[in-house]
Structure 1
Amino acid sequence: MKIVLSTLNAKYIHTSLSIRYLKAYAEPEYEVELAEYTIKDPSMNIVTDLHRKKPEILGFSCYIWNIEETIKVIKMMKKINPSLFIVLGGPEVTYDTKEWMERIPEVDCIIMGEGEQSFKQLLDELHGERNFTNVSGIAFRENNSVQFKPQRNKVDLKELPSPYRFEEDISQLSKRVTYIETSRGCPFSCQFCLSSIEVGVRYFDREKIKDDIRYLMNNGAKTIKFVDRTFNISRSYAMEMFQFLIDEHKPGTVFQFEITADIMRPEVIQFLNDNAPKGLFRFEIGVQSTNDQTNELVMRRQNFNKLTRTVTMVKEGQKIDQHLDLIAGLPEEDYNSFKKTFNDVFKLRPEELQLGFLKMLRGTGLRLRAADHDYVYMDHSPYEILKNNVLSFEDIISIKQVEDVLEKYWNDHRMDETIEYLVSNVFSSPFDFFQEFGTFWDEKGWTRIGHQLEDLYKHLHDFLENAKNDDLDIVSGLMRYDYLRNQKYKPRKPWWNDALTKQERSKIYRSILDNPLILGKEFASKQLSEKDLFKHTVLETIPFNVNHYLQTGKMIEEDSIVLVHYDPIQSATSVYSAVSNELDSKVS
């Protein structure tokens, strides 16, 4: 019987680890073909491709992000071939399984929970007597009713075959994210998270995992993301893996982890700061809330002081980028409380701050006790909340406005110096800036259209001008500085009007050619010709002493001349500045 396992990933760069585990465990007795798509692919295209594979057994891995699109595909496939045996698995259908079996009559079987053994047993029965009562951990149809067989003992992770070594994956390793798992389960009981349901943590064989990582790197994998819910729950294990990755990494490879920051010891961070190459590691840290009452209600143990120590030490080490997560809508966290949470965490200045909204996942304690906090949420995936007893729908709309501009103006790092100045010196708090700007953005209708980089600068300038900001000249200077230094190539048409006339520009260039040391030794060492200056540099006036501000964070309002060199050979951008009156030779 032809077996095909499929899933719809959120993006093309993602890969499905789950269907690869099933394929690896089913081999060599059964040959399984994998077929991955994205939720953006038209359903008809997916169905057409799957039909050409002529499956007799077709499985789908289901999550909140793909279930609705998957259902469309399932219904079409069953209409085309009523004899097709369709099996589902994954966290979205593991809970409320009876409801799914009733909602999707086209589905013949659902695997509940860990699927490797259950899927193999199911294949045995489909190729044999079709006595599904012999299969553990499934729901199936028999005599016009849904039958359930509970799961048996958990699989021994140390005995699982590797899901990382399929020949057909090799050509894609450098282009897509590779997900790797070294443990299953979570020691914590956060009531909004599915991982809290599985008690205890189980580990895979360390040496086999190391061999798999070597194989992946040797075959071109660039981004390897560990899906362990708490990678650093065991300090000795984390240290061993960190040391291994430092010792054996390939240039250009990035490893990403989900860590629990408040249990990370300072000596571990110091080890990473001292030994890890810059950019090798990336940390994801779920803060979610700094409200103690909220954390207690969701059974989340968190010491924010220790978390702050960890994030600060990592940031000071300048080796590891950090992605911090917040969840709006947790119990008893109203608008003002969430504002405090946001400001508490933004104060740490993470490279990325992800603002998410509570999703009432099937099977979680929070969903089961939703009435305790008057939760109203979407009936369909992703089951995002609409309101609760302390957070109105209007509040959620306001926070979504914050999320929109936070992503564009902080997480994408398009104008770091500008945003830092605004949140530190102009607005009452970071949240106030993002909220006021987000509301303005929404009222202008910009949420519904795409934007070029120049548009983002113009929109911010429009907002500040509308707010009658006293610092508009200073901020505009910072924006011009950010814009020029973050370009890879000389911009053809900046978003502002030139302040310098052609004659003034020529005069400054002549002064620089006569004495290149006025912009410092580094600039002078480039020995740029007149042609190079006019072709590959940009001059701009900034209404404050750029060098002094970058070195001290303090503003002196005296004009600077900024020269930005776009090196066409090294594809590098260098910025030099001098005070206009003195043309001070300091490099910025």
Structure 2
Amino acid sequence: MNVVLATLNAKYIHTSLAIRYLKAFCAEEFDVQLAEYTIKDPAMSIAADLFSKKPDVIGFSCYIWNIEETITVVDMLRKVLPDVKIVLGGPEVSYDTAEWMNRLPAVDFIVMGEGEETFRDLLRQIAGDRKYHFVFGLAYRKEGQAEAIITPGRPKLDLNDIPSPQRFAEDIPTLRNRVVYFETSRGCPFSCQFCLSSIEVGVRYFDMERVKSDLSYLIDSGAKLIKFVDRTFNIKRDYAMEIFQFLIDNHRGCVFQFEITADIMRPEVLDFLAEHAPPGVFRFEIGVQSTNDPTNLAVQRRQNFAKLSRTVNKIKESRNIDQHLDLIAGLPHEDYDTFRKTFNDVFALRPEELQLGFLKMLRGTGLRLDAAKYGYVYMERAPYEMLGSDVMPFSDIVRIKRVEDVLEKYWNAHRMDRTMEYLVTTVYPSPFDFFQRFGDYWESRGWSRIGHQLEDLFIRLWSFLEADRPEGLDTDVAMALLKIDYYLQHKYKPRKTWWEDRLEKKDWMQGLRWAAEKLGMEERELQKKAALDRIPFDYGAWVQEGRTDKTAGTALVILYSGEDEPPRLVALPLPDGQAAAADQQSLSESGKGQES
């Protein structure tokens, strides 16, 4: 029997852990092929490729991001492969299963919940007596009947009875260029009503030696990014600490990302990570969602924001671990003004990335069942995003989406960290107000519907500042920081700049000679490797004290060493101005590029 397991990933770099688990569990009895595509691939191309494999059974792993595209492919396959058995599984079809079976007559079976054992038993019945009522956790139809039959659910597996999904030889050639998903546990101890993980009671763990063995195999095989999918990686402290220590000792340059609950992180764990975690090897994803107490109470989310903040700040102080903090707009009791406060509360922690998402009314969750209680209206089909509630109308959702757009481009992308910090700290009433006003302007110019090069992003921010003219804006400071950020975004000396006030050739040559003397470099070498500019205030005083001193200008020398090294900014007091700092004094500023 020719069995194909397929899925449509959100991006090419992603991989599907689910279909690898299914293949591993069935491997002793059935030869299973894996077929991965993306939601951007043409449905005709996917259907043609699957058709060429001549399958007897095709299984699809379904999520909110791929269900509608998967349905299109399924309908095509049913027409060209009338005898193939089509099976759906995954979280998107594990709830409201009868509704799915009624909507999708092309589908023969739906595997509900944890699918390894159910899918294997289904294959046994397809290959044998076809007594599907013996398979727990299955939806099916009797031959010639439209109505679905749903069997009782299946008890949870002992996780150590599941063979490893990480050891397929065909995966090795692409490990280096793709995200590898990995789990050490299943389940979640919390009951957040917007999350599917709240439905499963209890947390189960894989054997520690198995976890270490699989991680060693992946690292030895060339994996560069391993993303742990455990819902709360740090819930069991000793277990998490042992894995942290193992990865610190054996990472070999691989990067590991974890979802953690920050307000339960123990001080000794934070101290250990601050002292021992190698820079850049660990990344933490922290779901804050809301800082509004009535909101967290309504969704049964226990959270101590003060403790969470201490954890985030402690990790940030170590400078070893990047942090990605999540927010959800549209939760109960959170209107536009309350969400503005949540955004500013979390932005004050200055995470490396702040993800602004919107509530999705997932099938099976308590919040979807209580939608009428909060006046929710939402998309009827995936991704089921909310369109409004009793306290947040659609007009507010639209405005906050503009915040999300520019937040992604300007804060999360780290293209102009110095400029952003200046604007959100000094110029605008709050970070949210800056992103909202910029987002509104961005939309009014139609920029959300066109592409953007790096230079465009700088030009468009400057255009906004010139149009908005906020009271606290010092245009000299803003332009200077934009210049510096622009220079430091390049690996090689840029051939052109986007601003008008360029140095005259005579001034540039004079500055070149002066800078070469100051830096002890040959003029020819400096001309080849450096960009020169000047700003009309003391940059050293601004970095160290946040003070703008326009009695002393600064010469900027940006040194480019090539692709493997970030550019280095040297700020020198101009000879005709008051010296604000000793020549080549270290400025120790965070952000891309090195400064001195």
TM-score (norm 2): 0.95
Q: 1:570 to 1:77 in 2, by over 3 A?
A: closer
Which of these residues, 242, 245, 260, is aligned with residue 243 of structure 1?
Answer: 245
1:345-393 Cα deviation digits (max 9, x unpaired): 0000000000000000000000011000010000110000000000011
Q: C-alpha displacement at 1:543, in angstroms?
A: 2.2
SS at match of 1:258: strand
SS at match of 1:91: coil
Task: After TM superposition, list the pairs within 5 Å mapping 1:371-450 onto structure 2.
Answer: 371-450=372-451
| CA distance, structure 2, for counterparts of residue 175 and residue 559 of structure 1 | 46
Q: 1:383 to 1:570 in 2, by over 3 A?
A: closer
Q: C-alpha displacement at 1:109, in angstroms?
A: 0.3
Q: Is the 8 A contact 1:158 1:205 kept in 2?
A: yes
SS at match of 1:585: coil
Q: Is the 8 A contact 2:491 2:563 kept in 1?
A: no
Unpaired runs of 5+ in structure 2? 586-595
Q: Is the 8 A contact 2:515 2:557 kept in 1?
A: no
> How many residue pairs align between the two structures?
577
Q: Is the 8 A contact 2:491 2:562 kept in 1?
A: no
Q: Paired residue for 1:542?
A: 535
Q: Paired residue for 1:21?
A: 21
Which deviates more, 35-44 or 533-542? Answer: 533-542
Q: C-alpha displacement at 1:551, in angstroms?
A: 2.2
Q: C-alpha displacement at 1:555, in angstroms?
A: 2.2
Q: C-alpha displacement at 1:97, in angstroms?
A: 0.4
Q: C-alpha displacement at 1:571, in angstroms?
A: 4.0
1:263-301 Cα deviation digits (max 9, x unpaired): 001210110010010011000000000000000000000
Which of these residues, 209, 212, 225, is aligned with residue 210 of structure 1?
Answer: 212
1:559 aligns with 2:553: yes
Ranges of 4+ aligned residues in structure 1 off by more than 3 Å: 568-572
SS at match of 1:538: strand
Q: Paired residue for 1:200?
A: 202
Q: Paired residue for 1:106?
A: 106
The aligned amino acid for 1:178 is V
| CA distance, structure 1, for counterparts of residue 242 and residue 562 of structure 2 | 43
| CA distance, structure 2, for counterparts of residue 102 and residue 432 of structure 1 | 47
SS at match of 2:93: helix
Q: Is the 8 A contact 2:328 2:358 kept in 1?
A: yes
| CA distance, structure 1, for counterparts of residue 571 and residue 372 of structure 2 | 61
Q: Is the 8 A contact 1:23 1:163 kept in 2?
A: yes
SS at match of 1:44: helix
Q: C-alpha displacement at 1:152, in angstroms?
A: 2.4
1:578 aligns with 2:572: yes
Q: Is the 8 A contact 1:111 1:138 kept in 2?
A: yes
Q: Is the 8 A contact 1:499 1:541 kept in 2?
A: no
Q: Paired residue for 2:312?
A: 311
| CA distance, structure 2, for counterparts of residue 282 and residue 162 of structure 1 | 24
Q: Is the 8 A contact 1:157 1:204 kept in 2?
A: yes
Q: Paired residue for 2:502?
A: 499
Q: Paired residue for 2:38?
A: 38
Q: Percent of pairs identical after alignment?
A: 59
Which deviates more, 503-512 or 116-125? Answer: 503-512
Task: After TM superposition, list the pairs within 5 Å mapping 1:217-256 onto structure 2.
Answer: 217-251=219-253, 253-256=254-257
1:487 aligns with 2:490: yes
Q: C-alpha displacement at 1:586, in angstroms?
A: 2.4
Q: C-alpha displacement at 1:446, in angstroms?
A: 0.2
| CA distance, structure 2, for counterparts of residue 510 and residue 529 of structure 1 | 9
Task: After TM superposition, list the pairs within 5 Å mapping 1:42-121 onto structure 2.
Answer: 42-121=42-121
SS at match of 2:279: coil
| CA distance, structure 1, for counterparts of residue 305 and residue 549 of structure 2 | 37
The aligned amino acid for 2:487 is L
Q: C-alpha displacement at 1:509, in angstroms?
A: 1.4
Q: 1:298 to 1:317 in 2, by over 3 A?
A: same
Q: C-alpha displacement at 1:567, in angstroms?
A: 1.6
Q: 1:120 to 1:342 in 2, by over 3 A?
A: same
Q: Paired residue for 1:508?
A: 511
The aligned amino acid for 1:585 is D
The aligned amino acid for 1:586 is Q
TM-score (norm 1): 0.97
Q: C-alpha displacement at 1:232, in angstroms?
A: 0.3
Q: Is the 8 A contact 1:360 1:383 kept in 2?
A: yes
| CA distance, structure 1, for counterparts of residue 546 and residue 62 of structure 2 | 50
Q: Paired residue for 1:519?
A: none
Q: C-alpha displacement at 1:579, in angstroms?
A: 1.9
| CA distance, structure 2, for counterparts of residue 239 and residue 183 of structure 1 | 14
Q: Is the 8 A contact 1:547 1:586 kept in 2?
A: no
SS at match of 1:509: helix
| CA distance, structure 1, for counterparts of residue 165 and residue 564 of structure 2 | 40
| CA distance, structure 2, for counterparts of residue 409 and residue 106 of structure 1 | 45
Q: Is the 8 A contact 2:492 2:563 kept in 1?
A: no
1:442-472 Cα deviation digits (max 9, x unpaired): 0000000000011000000000000124412
Q: CA RMSD in A?
A: 1.1
Q: Paired residue for 2:337?
A: 336
SS at match of 2:531: strand
Q: Is the 8 A contact 2:62 2:89 kept in 1?
A: yes
1:531 aligns with 2:524: yes
